[in-house]
């Protein structure tokens, strides 16, 4: 009991003395190297591995354009590597095209008041929570649910931090409490912690959630290494087990040295240029910034010209479709007018033929009575004889005229019916062709819209 009280007092004293990494900090960028993606600013109490993000202030709003990780701190100056801001990546929102520039603000430790706690049992879990009252510990139940039965890996822990807006992770290892940055996984602080009394540990760490199983295949790939709690987390935290981070840091140090050399060379060249009358020559930083701006402008110009070409092509196609539609309409109107005139002419011919037939019948009926009234008695006798003989000869003539007239009318009717059928067939063909053209235009317009 006494040992537990001493441990609590020691941890509370340490937490009060070393809590600088918890306080939010804001600094202004003093130097930018766009090709190498390096920025410099006053170090204050910042440490290597701390994570932040760059904010550019525009006319009436601010925008986060990149995220940074400190790679070196020398003589009160911090050097950081910046990259695109992906901590809260969202494919449905516009992606900022801006880059870090001189005068922008870098925000650090904005989420360091929230943390995950990885402990072997409930006793140490509650002990650490009780001695760090200024930290809002996110429930370990959420973290173990997020891992879904798999062993904690650096990549998975980073994803969980982004999801729950967590800045640091507390990990209990053998006789040590490690406080790490979520993004860089660099150790911000180490505190002594007695773990000799721990006899039973939870897998993968202490939580109140039970029964999560990754399945047979998941166990095969994850290996269930976290069953040996201290061996697994000691290896996870040790720098020897994070070769990729060490290699990356070496490359960043080399870049920093090369950058210093270039700055010195530029500083040596600047007095010579001033003596030659080029005092207003742009600095290396300005050149790099202008180069990046020119690249962005060229990309924007290409995109704009491509969009304009697409628009002109679409408008041209739309105009062509409209012209074709007008031509089809005019042609259809012309054909319908011709059909109407032809039908009217057929009707007029039938009326004229009917009138002519009526006149012929009237004339024949009028001629027969007049010849009977002007005849003498002898003529009547002769006429009667002649009529009888003529009747015998001309008896079939009236029937032949009527037959001819009837045949003529039937031919005209058949011809008119044939013309009507032809017009109907042509009308159907035109209608089918128009429907087909309209369907093709509709499909083409839909393709242009897509």
Domain that holds residue 334: 314-362+408-450
Contact 281, 290 (CB under 8 A): no
Output the pLDDT for position 128.
Answer: 94
- 353 has a pLDDT exceeding 60: yes
pLDDT confidence band for 4 (50 / 70 / 90) = very low
**CATH code, domain with 166:** 3.40.50
Residues 200 and 228 in one domain: yes
Q: Which two tokens stand for residue 148?
A: 């879904």
Q: Per-residue pLDDT for 416 more than 50?
A: yes
List of residues 6+ apart from 390 with CB closer than 8 A: none
The reply to whether 77 and 201 lie within a common domain is no
368 assigned to some structural domain: no
Do both 125 and 198 map to the same domain? yes
Banded model confidence at residue 17, pLDDT cuts 50, 70, 90: very low
Task: Look at residue 428 and tell me whether its pLDDT is greater than 50.
Answer: yes
287-306 pLDDT, tens digit each: 777 887 888 888 888 888 88
Q: Quick check: 120 and 202 in contact, CB under 8 A?
A: yes
Residue 237 has pLDDT above 70, yes or no: yes
Same domain, 140 and 206: yes
pLDDT, one tens digit per residue, over 40-67 is: 999 988 988 888 989 988 888 888 888 9
Mean confidence (pLDDT) of the chain? 78
The answer, yes or no, to whether residue 36 has pLDDT greater than 90, is no
**Within a domain: residue 298?**
no
**Residue 269 is assigned to a structural domain of this protein:** no
DSSP letter at 241 equals G
Higher-confidence residue of 129 and 62: namely: 129
Residues 104 and 131 in one domain: no
Asked if 163 and 228 sit in the same domain, the reply is: yes
Q: What are the φ/ψ torsions at residue 432 (nearest 5 degrees)?
A: -65, -40
Spatial separation of the C-alpha atoms in residues 284 and 296, rounded to whole Å = 18
pLDDT band at 168 (very low <50, low <70, confident <90, very high): very high
Residues 431 and 447 grouped into a single domain = yes
Same domain, 157 and 143: yes
CA dihedral angle for residue 397, residue 403, residue 404, residue 410, rounded to 10 degrees: 170
- Asked if residue 306 belongs to a domain, the reply is no
For residues 213 and 224, the answer to whether their CB atoms sit within 8 Å is no
Answer yes or no: do 151 and 223 share one domain. Answer: yes
Q: Is the pLDDT of residue 16 over 70?
A: no
State whether 47 and 148 are in the same domain. no
Tell me whether residue 400 is in a domain. Answer: no
DSSP secondary structure letters along 166-203: --EEEEEETTEEEEEETTT--EEEEEE---TT-----S
Q: Residue 117 has what pLDDT?
A: 95
pLDDT average, residue stretch 74-87? 86
pLDDT value at 98 more than 60: yes
CATH number of the domain to which 67 belongs: 2.40.30.20
Q: Whole-angstrom Cα distance, residue 55 to residue 62?
A: 7
Residue by residue, DSSP assigns 15-60 as HHHS-GGGS-EEEE--EEETTTTEEEEE-TT--TT-EEEEEEE-SS
More confident residue, 381 or 36: 36
Give the Cα separation of 132 and 115 in Å (integer): 11
> Do residues 182 and 171 make contact, with C-beta atoms less than 8 angstroms apart?
no
* Of 211, 241, 271, the domain-final residue: 241
Pinpoint the alpha helices (H) of 94-228: 122-131, 140-147, 154-164, 215-222
187 within 8 A of 165, measured Cβ to Cβ: no
Residues 336, 419: one domain? yes
For residue 250, the model assigns a pLDDT of: 63
Domain boundary residue among 209, 241, 273? 241
C-alpha to C-alpha distance for 169 and 241, rounded to whole angstroms: 18
As a whole number of angstroms, the distance between CA 449 and CA 314 comes to 8
Rounded Cα distance between 120 and 124, Å, is: 7
Instruction: Please write the tens of the pLDDT for every residue from 213-222.
Output: 655 555 555 5
Considering only CA atoms, give the Rg of the chain.
Answer: 50
Does 193 reside within a domain? yes
Sign of torsion over alpha carbons 170, 173, 176, 178? negative
Q: Which residue has the tokens 């967590």?
A: 166
Output the pLDDT for position 383: 52
Cα–Cα dist 218/224, whole Å: 9
Under the banding of pLDDT at 50, 70 and 90, the label for residue 445 is confident
Answer yes or no: is pLDDT of 398 > 50: no
Using pLDDT thresholds of 50, 70 and 90, give the confidence band for residue 139: very high
- Using CA atoms, how far apart are residues 411 and 413, in angstroms rounded to an integer? 5
Element (H, E) at 71: strand 62-74
Q: How confident is the model at residue 380 (pLDDT cuts 50, 70, 90)?
A: low
Asked whether 49 and 187 are in contact (CB, 8 A), the reply is yes
What average pLDDT does the segment 428-439 reach? 87
Q: Domain for residue 370, yes or no? A: no
In a domain, 294, yes or no: no
HSE (side-chain half, CA atoms, 13 Å) at 424 = 6
Whether 46 and 135 map to the same domain: the answer is no
Domains in the chain, number = 3
The alpha carbon of 288 is separated from its chain's Cα centroid by a whole number of angstroms, namely: 31
Q: Which of 158, 154, 190 is nearest to 172 (CA)?
A: 190
Last residue of a domain, one of 221, 241, 261: 241
Above 90 in pLDDT, residue 127?
A: yes
Could you give the CA distance from residue 169 to residue 422 in angstroms, rounded to a whole number?
Answer: 88
């Amino acid at each position: 009991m006494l040992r537990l009280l001493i441990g609590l007092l020691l941890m509370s004293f340490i937490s009060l003395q070393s809590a600088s990494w918890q306080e939010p900090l804001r600094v202004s960028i003093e130097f930018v190297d766009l090709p190498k993606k390096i920025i410099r600013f006053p170090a204050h109490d910042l440490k290597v591995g701390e994570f932040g993000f760059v904010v550019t202030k525009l006319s009436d709003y601010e925008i986060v354009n990149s995220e940074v990780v400190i790679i070196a701190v020398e003589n009160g100056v911090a050097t950081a590597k910046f990259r695109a801001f992906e901590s809260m990546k969202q494919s449905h929102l516009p992606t900022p095209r801006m880059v870090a520039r001189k005068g922008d603000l870098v925000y650090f430790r904005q989420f360091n008041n929230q943390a995950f706690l990885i402990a072997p049992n409930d006793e140490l879990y509650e002990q650490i929570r009780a001695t760090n009252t200024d930290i809002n510990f996110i429930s370990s139940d959420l973290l173990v649910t997020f891992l879904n039965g798999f062993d904690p890996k650096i990549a998975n822990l980073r994803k969980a931090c982004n999801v729950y807006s967590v800045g640091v992770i507390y990990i209990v290892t053998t006789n040590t409490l490690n406080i790490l940055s979520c993004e860089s996984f660099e150790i911000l602080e180490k505190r002594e912690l007695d773990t000799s009394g721990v006899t039973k540990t939870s897998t993968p760490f202490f939580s109140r959630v039970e029964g999560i199983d990754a399945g047979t295949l998941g166990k095969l790939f994850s290996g269930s290494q976290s069953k040996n709690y201290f061996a697994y987390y000691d290896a996870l935290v040790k720098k020897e087990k994070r070769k990729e981070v060490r290699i990356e840091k070496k490359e960043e140090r080399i870049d920093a040295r090369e950058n210093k050399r270039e700055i010195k060379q530029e500083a040596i060249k600047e007095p010579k240029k001033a003596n030659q009358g080029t005092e207003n020559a742009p600095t290396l930083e300005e050149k790099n910034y202008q180069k990046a701006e020119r690249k962005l402008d060229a990309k924007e110009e290409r995109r704009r010209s491509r969009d304009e070409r697409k628009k002109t092509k679409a408008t041209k196609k739309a105009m062509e479709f409209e012209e074709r539609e007008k031509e089809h309409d005019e042609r259809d109107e012309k054909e319908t007018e011709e059909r109407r005139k032809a039908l009217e002419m057929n009707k007029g011919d039938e009326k004229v033929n009917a009138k002519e037939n009526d006149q012929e019948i009237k004339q024949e009926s009028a001629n027969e009575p007049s010849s009977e009234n002007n005849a003498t008695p002898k003529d009547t006798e002769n006429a009667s004889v002649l009529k009888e003989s003529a009747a015998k000869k001309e008896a079939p003539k009236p029937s032949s005229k009527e037959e001819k007239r009837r045949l003529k009318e039937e031919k005209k009717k058949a011809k008119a019916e044939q013309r009507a059928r032809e017009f109907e067939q042509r009308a159907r063909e035109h209608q089918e062709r128009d429907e087909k053209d309209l369907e093709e235009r509709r499909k083409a317009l839909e393709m242009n819209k897509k």
